[in-house]
A = this chain, B = another copy of it.
Amino acid sequence: MNGAQSLIRTLVYGGVDVCFANPGTSEMHFVAALDTVPEMRGVLALFEGVVTGAADGYGRMADKPAATLLHLGPGMVNGMANLHNARRAHTPIVNVIGDHALSHKGFDAPLESDIDALSEWTHGWNRTSTDSAVIGRDAAEAVAAARTAPGRIANLVLPADVSWGPDGVVASPIEPPPPSTVDESRIAAVAEVLRSGESTVILLGAGATRERGLLAASRISVATGAKPLIETFPARLERGAGLPTIDRMGYLSEQVQWQLTDVKHLVLVGAKAPVSFFAYPGKASELTPEGCKVHTLADLGEDVAAALESLADSVAADAKPLLQEPSRPALPSGVLTPQNWAEVIGALLPDGAIISDEANTSGLMIPMVTAGAPRHDVLTLTGGAIGQGLPVAVGAAVACPDRPVVCLQSDGSAMYTISALWTMARENLNVTTVILNNRAYAILRMELMRVGAEGAGPNANSLLDLSTPDMDFVKMAEGMGVPATRATTAEELAEQFSRALAEPGPHLIDAMVPSLI
């Protein structure tokens, strides 16, 4: 068994049986080995940003890592923006980064670069395998590292001669350490804060934005009056009818400051105290109000949901969570507006949907109009590196083939990783993509005003304009094998959205929405 074969067998043994790949010559032995380990599903993408974004979506929904296969440093850099998002989402991923043979490293061949520096940049677990006999063990450690709470990126560099070398050994899975348990004393301290009756916000982040955490937070809120909020960009938020509806913290600092007005205590549960997404002249970066005390109930890597449940048992033993009633907006009509396109989604969102949300400014109404829709998951842009929505939808659909995936995707961001559509077609994934085609980097129009930049005129505005030429996403999608239609009215959007959901495989709707700004 060569090194590559032992690597893939070890991954499968450890439960990693999907590999999003964009290979090159140095990975050819890994590619060949896929035929000797058919349990591993190779999913080809045409660009590494799709590979890593798909692994992110997969990991968020499968609660276990996918592998990626990347071609040396230049292949890895193409995937790093979505690895940045995955790091912020605490998604478990095992990157297998092919490298030149160890014997070839000293020659500065054209594709040579410093892969270690790139691995460091991802804040991940890093290992370069140096021997075919130990690549199996290295892979088992990589899987365990990726699965260690709260989840992280593991980068395993695979030199070509380690891949093709003999004497590969399959390694047994290594169980990662369980998340640490939060001390009783910390729970008691927060319980005391809640019993004080002072104005308190509980900020829910990683590990607290799924059913267990939401139910516990709602009980606490019902019993104590504390207000729960979800962090601005949750990796995976469970919501819809039958679950508590909890608002997200705003994107704009003005919104956050309004949400935290007069709050005396901020309790962090797998989240960080809020900071402004960007800095603005004369405005604060830290958004916790003056005089507000910050308490950490549970940190990343701790058993966040269990801590919340213990806290609920302590302060809200008899309280019932406040559950969202089913409720849908009526189907709207007329030319598409920033409001009515969202109402169409809210009216028709199918049961068990997964929303990959990169709607940006166009999506402001989506949380409101989908709150009472059937239960669904929302995956958001955790790290701000745009070009996430389509790849994450690919990965979510691979992880959950029986659930409908709805990708709400702004036009500018779509173009970063547009080739994800081809992978959707190739794998016949049940993804319905709605492009919010407002023909602008609308968020930047807003930010240009907010930063108080002097003298902006036509030259500046032209760099935020996507209408010269207009982009035709119907043609682009069809060019990559995805059936597509264009919607200019709410009626058209509703009809096309329903039809797309009813038919298997991917569809795209180019929704001509006006820009908010």
A interface residues (Cβ-Cβ under 8 A, vs B): 2, 5, 21, 23-26, 28-29, 31-36, 38, 42, 44, 46-47, 49, 73-75, 77-78, 80-81, 84, 88, 100-101, 103-104, 107-111, 113-114, 117-118, 120-121, 160-161, 164, 233, 272, 275-279, 281, 285-286, 382-385, 387, 412, 415-416, 418-419, 422, 425-426, 443-444, 447-448, 451-460, 462-466, 468-476, 478-481
Contacts and interface: CB of A to CB of B under 8 A. Distances in A.
Contacts of A422: 415, 469, 471
Nearest to A69: B463
A410 to B, nearest CB: 12
Number of identical monomers bound together in the oligomeric complex: 2
A419 B456 CA distance: 26
A448 B34 CA distance: 13
A454 B107 contact: no
Given A33-B454, A422-B471, 13 more contacts: A25-B447, A28-B453, A34-B460, A47-B415, A77-B84, A109-B277, A109-B285, A110-B233, A111-B383, A117-B117, A161-B279, A164-B281, A473-B479
22 contacts: A21-B463, A25-B443, A26-B279, A28-B444, A28-B451, A31-B463, A46-B412, A46-B466, A47-B415, A73-B121, A78-B387, A101-B279, A107-B286, A109-B278, A161-B279, A164-B451, A418-B418, A418-B419, A422-B469, A469-B480, A471-B480, A475-B478
B451 A25 contact: yes
Contacts of A44: 462-463, 465
Given A46-B412, A415-B46, A110 B470 contact: no
B383 A74 contact: yes
Nearest to A74: B385
Contacts of A233: 110
Contact of A32 (B33, B456, B478): B456
5 tightest A-B CB contacts, nearest first: A469-B481, A32-B453, A475-B479, A74-B385, A101-B279
Task: Indicate the member of A81, A464, A479 with the most B CB atoms within 10 Å.
Answer: A479
Contact of A469 (B100, B107, B164, B425): B425
A383 B110 CA distance: 5
Given A276-B109, A474-B479, A74 B78 contact: no
A463 B34 contact: yes
B121 A38 contact: no
A86 to B, nearest CB: 12
A459 B276 contact: no
Given A26-B278, A164-B453, A285-B104, A463 B42 contact: yes
Contacts of A278: 25-26, 100-101, 104, 109, 111, 160
Given A419-B415, A453-B31, A480-B476, A469 B426 contact: yes
A117 B121 contact: yes
A226 to B, nearest CB: 25
Nearest to A36: B455
A451 B160 CA distance: 10
Q: Choose among A78, A452, A464, A465 the residue with the greatest number of B CB atoms under 10 Å from its CB.
A: A78
Q: Which has the most chain B C-beta neighbours within 10 Å: A44, A88, A453?
A: A453
A285 B78 contact: no
A38 to B, nearest CB: 7
Contacts of A80: 74, 77, 80
Contacts of A75: 81, 385
A26 B384 CA distance: 12
B100 A42 contact: no
Given A34-B463, A278-B104, A110 B88 contact: yes
B78 A84 contact: no
Nearest to A83: B77
B74 A84 contact: yes
A108 B481 CA distance: 40
Given A49-B78, A385-B111, A42 B84 contact: no
Contacts of A472: 478-480
A174 to B, nearest CB: 27
Nearest to A443: B25
A34 B359 CA distance: 28
A177 B78 CA distance: 34
